[in-house]
Amino acid sequence: SSGINAEYGACYPYDGREDKSTAPGYSKSPDDAVFRYLASSYAKAHPTMWKGERICDGDQFTGGISNGAEWYPLYGGMGDWNYLHCGTLEITVEMGCTKYPKEDQLLRMYRDHYWPLITHISNSRQGFSGVVVCLYVC
């Protein structure tokens, strides 16, 4: 799952810190390696996001990704809530510098994010799948 906001990079949980601090700082989740992989895969499939160039308000994401709390702590966000309560793995894709881009920017944004989104969707198909069968009376 992905959320979309106004900035430039792929962010992953946790967005809040355990000590409830408002100061930026890395907040590692139990699935940190998986989140970093998902965010990196998205950023690397994008034509420029992976470069981590500073394009919006001075923020810079190394490799095009950031831990949410390391960028800025946020409490009560959907990504953390869905991860903690539903077990879903969500990254937030920061697609640009404006929350509501102008119409003439949409085609370029679509083209820039098409393959990263396809990559993200294909990543959701990785792992184990099957049917659990109980051979004994359960």
| Catalytic center residues | 94
Other residues' Cβ atoms within 10 Å of the Cβ of residue 66: 25
Answer yes or no: are the C-beta atoms of 3 and 92 closer than 8 Å.
yes
Tally the C-alpha atoms within 13 A of residue 43's C-alpha that lie toward its C-beta: 25
Q: Say if residues 67 and 24 touch (Cβ distance below 8 Å).
A: no
